[in-house]
Amino acid sequence: MERLNQALQAFMKRPTTWVGIITALTFQIVFSLIWMTGYDGVTDRVDRLHIAIVNKDQQLGAQVSDNLMKELPFRMSKIDELENAKQQLDDRKLQMVIYMPEDFTQKTASPDGHANIQYWINESNPALIKSIMNGVAQQVTAEVNKQAVFAGVKSTLGATAKMPEAQAATAAQSLAERVTADIQSTNAIHGMNNQMVPMMMVLASYVGAMIMGMNLEQSSMAVQASVSRWRRFAARSIINIVAALFVSLVGSTLLYSLGGQIEQGFIHLWLFEMLFLLTFMFVSQMFLYLFGMAGMLFNIMLLSAQLVSSGTIVPRELLSDFYTGLVLLLPATYAVEGNMNLLFGGPGVGHEVAILFLITAVAVAVSAAATGLKRSAGRQHEAAIAAK
């Protein structure tokens, strides 16, 4: 027992032991605070999701679309051309497109007719989007059957078959379910394993960058007596670039080898992963340049904030105003957007690449400034010691 106490005392005297304990505690505190506040009230903000209606039928379709504009609890808009609406859907400016074809009234009024309301959903989004919009499609179709189709068929029977109104109503009631939902997906995702890839890539990349940065900081402290600050800064930057090149190649190769869905090609995915991994490395190390090992606390907070707000689990439109504003500053946002485009389909990644380059440049500039300021402070300290 005495030897065990000595071992415990030896461990507790080491600063690294306390750092480990504090880090574990920090993860619990930070993740609880950020995730609980980030996802609070998500289901109350579904009215921020955007649905567009494209109506080509000027009779019953126009009536149905007007009712939907008033009754659905979402951001609603009308678009004249289906191709324009589908382009906005592909750009993730819309979450669903509802299409009323030209012959909608004709098919619902015909005794043997059968009409479809077409719904377009972009699966290259968080899975919650597809779930919500599928539910909306079924609800809208059921409502059209109960109200619009019933009224249209009743009117047609009363006018053409010369039935009394009561008989026409009974006949119309028997012709329910004449309108069905034709749900079509763009950028379809094949399997839950592929759905989770964007979150996995962000999580693995940022955690790996954090740990790598921590070890580089320790290596930098170990060689500071023999290597100047700027040479250490240059060496770390070169290591980041080479590591990002190699690590991203391994990650992309494994994803491809395991049958991952890659719509826009392996080379594009590899180069993009290399870019956002390099961005993560420089951003995570920026806090270490500024605050030393204490910068890991900021990295823990940044990791949690990025997982909440990047749009891998919950659509960013459903987050609070604070997180929807914060999301524009975080690199994981653009990593997720680009990954979804490359993996599942969507627009190009030019915008995401430009923002990631900008974030990387800012992180490098801040790190260089911190290196320069520490050098100046060190010289002042040495001069003060010499003066004494």
pLDDT given at position 196:
92
- Token digits for 269? 């995915």
pLDDT given at position 166:
62
CA–CA dist 164, 255 (Å, integer): 67
Burial of 350 (0-12, 13-18, 19+ CB in 10 A): exposed
pLDDT given at position 148:
55
- Is 281 within 8 Å of 9 (Cβ atoms)? no
CA–CA dist 314, 309 (Å, integer): 8
Q: DSSP states of 48-114 as a string?
A: GSEEEEEE--SSHHHHHHHHHHHHSSSEEEE-S-HHHHHHHHHTTS-SEEEEE-TTHHHHHHSTT--
- Token digits for 173? 């009631």
Q: For the chain, what is the mean pLDDT?
A: 87
pLDDT given at position 281:
97
Percent of the chain whose predicted confidence (pLDDT) is above 70 = 87
Which pLDDT tens digit goes with each residue over 283-340? 999 999 999 988 998 999 999 999 999 988 889 989 988 998 999 999 999 999 999 9
Which tops the pLDDT comparison, 5 or 213? 213
Judged by average pLDDT, the poorest of 37-46, 158-167, 190-199, 320-329 is 158-167
Q: Which residues contact 74 (CB under 8 A, 6 or more apart)?
A: 46, 47, 48, 49, 50, 51, 95, 136
pLDDT given at position 223:
93
pLDDT at 375 over 80: no
CA–CA dist 185, 97 (Å, integer): 10
β-strand pairing of 75-78 with 179-186: unpaired
pLDDT given at position 79:
95
pLDDT band of 107, cuts 50, 70, 90:
confident
pLDDT given at position 6:
85
Which pLDDT tens digit goes with each residue over 177-224? 678 889 999 999 998 899 999 999 999 999 999 999 999 999 999 999
pLDDT given at position 363:
97
pLDDT given at position 386:
45
pLDDT given at position 61:
87
CA–CA dist 346, 332 (Å, integer): 18
- Token digits for 342? 């490359």
HEC readout, 108-169: HHCCCCCEEEEEEEECCCCHHHHHHHHHHHHHHHHHHHHHHHHHHHHHHHHHHCCCCHHHHH
Positive or negative CA dihedral for 355, 361, 365, 367? positive
Region 2-21: mean pLDDT is: 84
pLDDT given at position 21:
86
- Is 74 within 8 Å of 46 (Cβ atoms)? yes
pTM (two decimals): 0.84
pLDDT band of 17, cuts 50, 70, 90:
confident
